[in-house]
């Protein structure tokens, strides 16, 4: 089944409330995906710095100590923001590769799960409302965010198998559905040099989009191309530094409903997820059409 929620704020005065709005939306979708959850949130950032989201396998990882060591190794202090098993390291963009090398060398049981100017990615096994609470989503701020609740069908219930999947810098993808040609496509993408960490179908979709964009496609074009190359059921929601996009497969078996007001554009697998949003009674509520790429961007 799986559930997706997403919100893109048009009214910047709502930005401090982004996390609490998303947490409520995510909570209503627990029924659709009780085994794991994750979210990507686009918060503060500047072009001189890159935010690296790190995830530890252990609950007692000492991120502060690691940040200090990495800072010493690259010669610039590293700001760190810890959220349970995850932490965001903010490093100068010019030192990104050095920081990545240093984390790989010094960080035990830690891996980088997302990077970007503004994006932070969190995911974990467990009930979605508990996952949101563990990371303190309700107190996060930002311009837009997408989240996912997972009911696993194509691969194991693991943190690696949870969504979102990063598709590149400041880019991520969540998916409701199941792809039927992911094994074949994974083999093709491996031949093209991509690597995969799971048997998950969505990771293949994320890899596909990454590959298309590395070949010069825009995100919109990559989504259009996925209509030809991905077989199966899907509703995708993608996040980028400036906005978010929605695509449903041509059969459109997987649900999707959207709401738009002067303040926001919101996505939910079910209307229930949107019912608590401010001003929803006056919102334009509609169902995104099959095989049509939708995109909203900040100007």
Partner 1 sequence: MTVIDLEVTSLRDLNQMLHGLREGTNETFRVINPKGRHAIAVGLDAPVTVEIDGNAGYYCAGMNKQANVIINGSAGLGLAENMMSGTVHVKGDASSSAGATGCGGLLVIDGNAGARCGISSRGIDIVVKGSVGHMSAFMAQAGALVVLGDAGDALGDSIYEARLFVRGAVTSLGSDCIEKPLRDEHREKLGELLQAAGLNGEIDLGEFRRYGSARNLYHFHMDNLEAY
Give the binding site for partner 1 (CB under 8 A). Answer: 250-252, 255, 257, 270-276, 281, 285-287, 289-290
Q: How far is the CB of 276 from partner 1 (least distance, A)?
A: 8
Nearer to partner 1, 85 or 269 (CB): 269
Q: Which residues of 218-257 are buried (b: 16+ CB within 10 A; e: fewer)?
A: ebeebbbebbeebebbbbbbbbbbbbbbbbbbeebebbbb
Q: How far is the CB of 265 from partner 1 (least distance, A)?
A: 17
Radius of gyration of the chain (CA): 18
Q: How far is the CB of 208 from partner 1 (least distance, A)?
A: 25
Nearer to partner 1, 77 or 255 (CB): 255
Catalytic residue among 2, 30, 172, 253: 2
2 among known catalytic residues = yes
Distance CA 261, CA 259 (A): 7
CB atoms within 10 A of CB 119: 29
Contact between 196 and 190 under an 8 Å Cβ cutoff? The reply is yes
Q: How far is the CB of 230 from partner 1 (least distance, A)?
A: 18
Nearer to partner 1, 228 or 281 (CB): 281
Cite the beta strand spans of the chain per DSSP E.
3-9, 36-42, 49-56, 79-83, 86-92, 110-116, 119-125, 144-150, 165-168, 171-179, 232-239, 243-248, 257-260, 264-268, 284-286, 294-297
Nearer to partner 1, 109 or 228 (CB): 228
Nearer to partner 1, 83 or 272 (CB): 272
Q: How far is the CB of 285 from partner 1 (least distance, A)?
A: 6
Tokens, residue 21: 């709005």
Q: Catalytic residue positions?
A: 2
């Amino acid at each position: 089944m799986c559930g997706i929620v997403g919100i893109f704020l048009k009214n910047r005065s709502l930005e401090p409330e982004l996390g609490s709005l998303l947490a409520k939306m995510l909570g209503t979708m627990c029924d659709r995906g009780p085994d794991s959850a994750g979210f990507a949130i686009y918060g503060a950032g500047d072009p001189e710095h890159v935010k690296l989201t790190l995830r530890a396998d252990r609950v007692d990882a000492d991120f502060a100590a690691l940040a200090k060591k990495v800072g010493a190794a690259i010669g610039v202090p590293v700001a760190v923001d810890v959220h349970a098993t995850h932490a965001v390291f903010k490093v100068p963009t010019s030192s990104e590769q050095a920081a990545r090398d240093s984390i790989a060398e010094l960080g035990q049981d830690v891996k980088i799960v997302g990077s970007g100017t503004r994006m932070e990615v969190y995911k974990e096994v467990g009930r979605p409302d508990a996952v949101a609470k563990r990371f303190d989503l309700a107190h996060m701020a930002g311009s837009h965010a997408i989240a996912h609740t997972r009911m696993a069908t194509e691969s194991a219930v693991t943190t690696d198998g949870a969504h979102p999947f990063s598709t590149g810098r400041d880019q991520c993808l969540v998916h409701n559905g199941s792809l039927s040609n992911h094994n074949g496509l994974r083999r093709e993408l491996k031949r093209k040099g991509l690597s995969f960490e799971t048997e998950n179908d969505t990771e293949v979709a994320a890899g596909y989009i990454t590959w298309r964009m590395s070949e010069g496609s825009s995100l919109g074009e990559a989504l259009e191309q996925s209509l030809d190359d991905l077989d199966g059921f899907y509703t995708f929601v993608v996040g980028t530094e400036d906005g978010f996009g929605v695509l449903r497969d041509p059969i459109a078996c997987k649900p999707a409903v959207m709401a738009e007001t002067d303040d926001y554009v919101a996505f939910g697998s079910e209307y229930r997820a949107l019912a608590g949003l401010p001003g929803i009674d006056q919102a334009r509520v509609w169902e995104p059409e099959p095989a049509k790429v939708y995109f909203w961007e900040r100007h």
